[in-house]
């Protein structure tokens, strides 16, 4: 794979943290970094990590499971350093069809860590979640939100072009 680029966007992240994250991704991707002004006032720190590959088993093999464990460890360390509350939001997205995003923003440290640990568990459920019978037609992006009550990731939002759907109850409801 030649010259895949990830464009890290962040604010409220220490130079040490961004250097560690950069180091984990630089051997697999060309890494661009952009420090932002605080764009979400409810969060002290935010990190957006777009991964230019699909979310699948091949990605984790190629990226290396040990390296992925280190990525998870730095995410958890970042949360630990900030304490509880709306201190940190991490948005990890994987390109592909559809694009898959995980938004990690739990106030509670334990639930935050649990969410980080279970991202790769979603791989096993992906064929079920992406079943065309269960999604709106022509979905371009799906967003997972961690559900602390069930201690697992749930499909939360789906986009079909500019239309936004939210999963409510046992079905998709159009929002915009």
pLDDT band at 176 (very low <50, low <70, confident <90, very high): confident
CA–chain centroid gap for 86, Å, is: 17
Chain mean pLDDT for the chain: 93
Alpha-carbon distances, residue 50 vs 40, 56, 94, 99, 163 (angstroms): 18, 15, 6, 10, 22
B/e letters for 61-79, b = 16+ CB within 10 Å, e = fewer, are eebeeeeeeebeebbbebb
- Cα–Cα nearest to 121, from 152, 167, 157: 152
Q: What is the mean pLDDT of residues 63-72?
A: 97
pLDDT higher at 83 or 10: 10
Per-residue pLDDT at 36 exceeds 60: yes
Dist. CA 133–CA 123, nearest whole Å: 19
Q: Three-state SS for 104?
A: strand
Per-residue pLDDT at 30 exceeds 60: yes
Token pair 């201690």 is at which residue? 151
> For 81-122, how does the pLDDT look when each residue is reduced to its tens digit (9 = 90+)?
998 888 999 999 999 999 999 999 999 999 999 999 999 999
Position 40 scores a pLDDT of 87
């Amino acid at each position: 794979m030649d010259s895949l680029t990830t464009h890290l966007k962040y604010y409220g992240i220490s130079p040490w943290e961004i250097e560690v994250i950069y180091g984990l991704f630089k051997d697999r991707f060309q890494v661009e970094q952009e420090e932002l002004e605080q764009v979400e006032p409810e969060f002290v720190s935010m990190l957006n990590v777009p991964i230019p590959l699909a979310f699948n088993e091949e990605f984790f093999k190629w990226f290396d499971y040990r390296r992925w464990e280190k990525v998870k460890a730095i995410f958890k360390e970042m949360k630990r350093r900030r304490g509880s509350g709306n201190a940190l939001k991490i948005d990890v997205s994987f390109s592909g069809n559809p694009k898959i995003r995980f938004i990690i923003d739990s106030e509670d440290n334990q639930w935050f860590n649990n969410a980080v640990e279970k991202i790769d568990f979603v791989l096993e459920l992906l064929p079920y979640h992406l079943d065309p019978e269960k999604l709106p037609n022509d979905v371009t992006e799906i967003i997972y939100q961690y559900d602390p009550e069930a201690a697992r990731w749930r499909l939360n939002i789906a986009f079909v072009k500019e239309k936004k759907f939210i999963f409510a109850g046992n079905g998709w409801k159009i929002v915009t």
